[in-house]
Amino acid sequence: MNEKKGNLLVGQSGGPTAVINNSLVGVIQEAMEHEEIGGIYGMVHGIAGVLNEEFADLRKESSETLETLRNTPASALGTVRYKVTDADYERLLEVFMAYDVRYFFYIGGNDSMDTTHKIAQLALSRGYDLHAIGVPKTVDNDLAVTDHCPGFGSAARFVATAIRDTGYDTWAMGDSSPIKLMEIMGRNAGWLTAATALAKETPDDPPHLIYLPERGVSVQQIIDDARYWYEKLGYCVIAVSEGLKDDKGEDMGAGRGDVDAFGHVLKGGVVDYLDGVLREALGARLRYDKPGYLQRSFATLQSPVDREEAYQVGRLAVRAAVGGDTDKMVAIIRRPGSEYAVDYELAALDRAANVEHFVPAEYINAQGNGVTEAFLDYCRPLIGGPLPRYARLAMHPLPKRTE
Amino acid sequence: MNEKKGNLLVGQSGGPTAVINNSLVGVIQEAMEHEEIGGIYGMVHGIAGVLNEEFADLRKESSETLETLRNTPASALGTVRYKVTDADYERLLEVFMAYDVRYFFYIGGNDSMDTTHKIAQLALSRGYDLHAIGVPKTVDNDLAVTDHCPGFGSAARFVATAIRDTGYDTWAMGDSSPIKLMEIMGRNAGWLTAATALAKETPDDPPHLIYLPERGVSVQQIIDDARYWYEKLGYCVIAVSEGLKDDKGEDMGAGRGDVDAFGHVLKGGVVDYLDGVLREALGARLRYDKPGYLQRSFATLQSPVDREEAYQVGRLAVRAAVGGDTDKMVAIIRRPGSEYAVDYELAALDRAANVEHFVPAEYINAQGNGVTEAFLDYCRPLIGGPLPRYARLAMHPLPKRTE
């Protein structure tokens, strides 16, 4: 059992998160405990690092670096957005064999799970003994099979915090600029936009309106919804998914038309569009925030739950591979009951590869402008504890003088 | 000495900050220790609350609310952007007299200092015994007389954190989207944009380029600067002030043309403009973040130094007023020496009213695309301690195989 079976290769892919390095460190630290594993190699910029044979020797990293990486956002090995071609797979397997890679871990989303699945299958078909395991990661939370995805909880904590803080600001500004839009990441899945609802302590707290790509909504409804809250409270805070669709299923706002390497249209522009529409309709000043990549990289707001789970899925992946598994993804399964607890299981990679998991209908309210209690119950534990307590003045009015 | 001399009125004005409620709580808690002070009244939405006679009875707030307010962003009394007219001043004094207001504290920026100054002068000219003190506040850090402004340190901590985190993300993305712009608040003064430099630990760390409104810069220089870093490191992170000017002194980018109540043009659009220019010139994908109002409201990143100073300027203002001062602003004076320490002094309000304090030439580098060590020495203590430690992998390359 003390014989080295081969080398380990690990990479990070797709959009970074605030906790993705926890998965990397989990893989490395677990690997160091298994004598079967020889070299621990990192792919520099994901699959591109394999194609270019650019590898980092991770056994040479200090334990202090590894511990500090757990606090460090974004993908420490570098990441990539590159659509692997059929010809590439042959080349990938050839490189794996040349470097005697027997354990392969790819930390990523749907596309990366597909890549890992195809490599696992190719190795099987060629009789090459490879243990390939997908490690889930995405702030979009759109992977199937797993209850939720590492990276999502921290991004959710950030957007809830951000919209609460900008909501207090918007209340304070009153008539000066009473309408606030915040554009939230999520091309097709609205999980992160939905998570802004965790900012609410009372029904009148921001965000007052939440629009997800899963539920098309007419521009007229958005105007009417915003007018309702503006007239009721004197201000209105709106969370809008970057991938919002109108009631005909068309993207709202023009976008910039960019397309990424996978052919996904890069969205954007929905708040610019709604900005014009709502100013005109409500006759009120409007401001918007586009926190952009801060949503996935703001390490100050790592969710402790998310951080730990990201670490554990890395460790679990190595244990599964050493135990003989391949072509699997580590999935997080929530235990039933009111107390939050999870188990880690292995799922067939083809169940997650290229499948997008959308916010289900029961998590979206009837009007399509907010979320349900069931969603809040789902999401609340993932952000790792309540947001810090804030206060509002009671504002006991002074009696007006009578002359 | 135990006789009540009259009532106290306090208000918050202009853009909120992450620590402005500390000044409010400082005023209230100090006032409670002075028997000369009768009612403690809050202006609801600043000067508008006086004109409309909308006051909150702050003695009725619980001590728990006051303590929790110190963690709560934005202006708890509500704020306002309203240009006080000459006719308004007569009305303001009349309301002050009707409510027997003898102590007046206005927490705000240049415009608010002007308002406070004019009220103080009008009371003097009418022989009405009023003690009016300005309490400095602005994330723009553009008040004269004071070394720095409460609110700035926390906003500086936020932007430094934000650009560091998005910088790690941009490095990780590599070729996929190697250019990142972040638009930073500051219509005319670049203090906050300059503060992003605190994210740098080594010369090659983001932000690689910092452009302030104080120093016009040609579009060609920005292209050349960005190309230099992109070619050197494979990526480039740029902090751009929303009020950036070109080398002819014209606003860069069209902006939306909005004008606020004071006639200030509301900027914006500079990153949209540079986005197009840099994509075209560099042939590289570009992304931008517009954290917008999060810069001034992100309470998670209150600087402990800023928070305490914001509290103390509130307390000091009350002590000055009770001691007989009027028409003064509390100023923060930094003691000489390498250890950070401050004194609080009183300055004539007309020295701060309507004066904008810009980033001086010695804080901007020769190329106009970064800051100097002198600026870093000035700014570093204000964010209240170093940013959390991050790590990068050493990335010892694995030898390439030789075939």
User: Model confidence at B2, in pLDDT bands (50, 70, 90)?
Assistant: very low
Q: How many CB atoms lie within 10 A of CB A403?
A: 4
Residue A3 has pLDDT above 90, yes or no: no
Q: If you average pLDDT over residues A226-236, what whole number do you get?
A: 98
Its ipTM equals: 0.95
Residue B267 has pLDDT above 60, yes or no: no
Residue B22 has pLDDT above 90, yes or no: yes
Residue B39 has pLDDT above 80, yes or no: yes
A356: helix, strand or coil = strand
Q: If you average pLDDT over residues A387-402, what whole number do you get?
A: 92
Residue A268 has pLDDT above 60, yes or no: no
Token output for A339 = 């107390």
Which residues from chain B sit within 8 angstroms of residue A291, using beta carbons? Answer: 289-292, 294
The catalytically annotated residue of A140, A205, A289, A327 is A140
Residue A260 has pLDDT above 60, yes or no: no
Catalytic annotation present for B140: yes
Give the neighbor-by-neighbor strand order of the sheet with A55-57.
A55-57, A37-43, A6-12, A101-108, A131-136, A328-334, A342-348
CA–CA distance, B272 with B181 (Å, rounded to integer): 9
Residue B251 has pLDDT above 70, yes or no: yes
Q: If you average pLDDT over residues B130-144, what whole number do you get?
A: 97
Residue B385 has pLDDT above 80, yes or no: yes
For B270-290, write each residue's pLDDT tens digit. Answer: 888 898 899 999 999 999 999
User: Model confidence at A256, in pLDDT bands (50, 70, 90)?
Assistant: very low
Q: What is the DSSP letter of B359?
A: P
CA–CA distance, B205 with B226 (Å, rounded to integer): 14
Residue B371 has pLDDT above 70, yes or no: yes
A29: helix, strand or coil = helix
Contact B98 A58 (CB under 8 A): no
pLDDT, position A262:
58
Q: If you average pLDDT over residues B227-246, what whole number do you get?
A: 96
Give the neighbor-by-neighbor strand order of the sheet with A286-289.
A209-211, A236-241, A179-184, A286-289
| Residue B174 contacts A where some CB pair is shorter than 8 Å | yes
Q: If you average pLDDT over residues B399-403, what whole number do you get?
A: 75
CA–CA distance, A51 with A93 (Å, rounded to integer): 10
In this structure, which amino acid lies at residue B247?
D
pLDDT, position B91:
97
pLDDT, position B3:
64
Q: If you average pLDDT over residues A160-174, what whole number do you get?
A: 97
For B286-345, write each residue's pLDDT tens digit. Answer: 999 999 999 999 999 999 999 999 999 999 999 999 999 999 999 999 999 999 999 999
Residue numbers of A between 30 and 49 with CB closer than 8 Å to B? 39, 41-42, 44-45
User: Model confidence at A264, in pLDDT bands (50, 70, 90)?
Assistant: low
pLDDT, position A403:
58
| Residue B165 contacts A where some CB pair is shorter than 8 Å | yes
Which residues from chain B sit within 8 angstroms of residue A388, using beta carbons? Answer: 71, 299-300
Range of weakest confidence among A266-275, A286-295, B164-173, B304-313: A266-275
Which residues from chain A sit within 8 angstroms of residue B293, using beta carbons? Answer: 166, 169-170, 180, 287, 289
- Closest partner CB to B74 (pick from A61, A172, A300): A172
User: Model confidence at B403, in pLDDT bands (50, 70, 90)?
Assistant: low
Residue A373 main-chain phi, psi, to 5 deg: -60, -35
Q: What is the DSSP letter of B58?
A: G
Q: If you average pLDDT over residues A94-112, what whole number do you get?
A: 97
Share of residues in chain A with pLDDT > 90 (%): 88
Q: Where are the alpha helices (DSSP H) in B215-330?
A: 219-233, 270-282, 294-297, 304-322
Contact A174 B288 (CB under 8 A): no
